[in-house]
Every structure is written in structure tokens, then in C-alpha cells.
Amino acid sequence: MSFEAVFSLVKQLSLSEKLKLIKWMVPEIERELVVNPPTPRKSLWGLCEDLGIAPSAADIDEVRS
């Protein structure tokens, strides 16, 4: 079942039923996070590490002139 289909069904619930669903889902999600922690993302600086040392401001000014 797709997310859109589930979301469509959830929108049809009453407010109290939506709250019950949330109360039920939060512990389920927390359990999943404990069992399968999200993998840390590499920082943007880490993504550029293979590019080498960045040029200094003086180098940039020299090239511009």
C-alpha cells in the first residue's frame, strides 16, 4: 500500500482516532530507531575532501587581477 493511500485513509479518521494512531505509532517508530539507527550523513566539507586544499583569498585575488 502506498503512502498516499494510507494518508488518504488517515485523513478520513476522526480527531480522536488520529490521536490514538499517533500514540500507537510513536513507540513503534522509537523502537525502529533503536534497532536501526539512521546512518550519519557525511558533512558538506567531507563531500569535498577529495578536491584538495581550497585556494586562499590571496590566491583568488591574484587570479582575478
Whether the CB-CB separation of 35 and 27 falls below 8 Å is answered with no
Say yes or no to pLDDT of 38 above 90.
no
Q: What's the rounded mean pLDDT across residues 22-48?
A: 87
The phi, psi pair for 12, rounded to 5°, reads -85, -10
- Residue-range domain boundaries for the chain: 3-64
Q: Is pLDDT of 31 > 80?
A: yes
Q: Give the rounded percent of residues in the chain with a pLDDT score beyond 70.
A: 100
Query: Looking at the predicted structure, is the pLDDT value of residue 45 above 80?
Result: no
Q: What pLDDT digit, counting tens, does each position of 7-16 carry?
A: 999 999 999 9
Scanning the structure block, which residue is given the C-alpha cell 503512502? Answer: 3
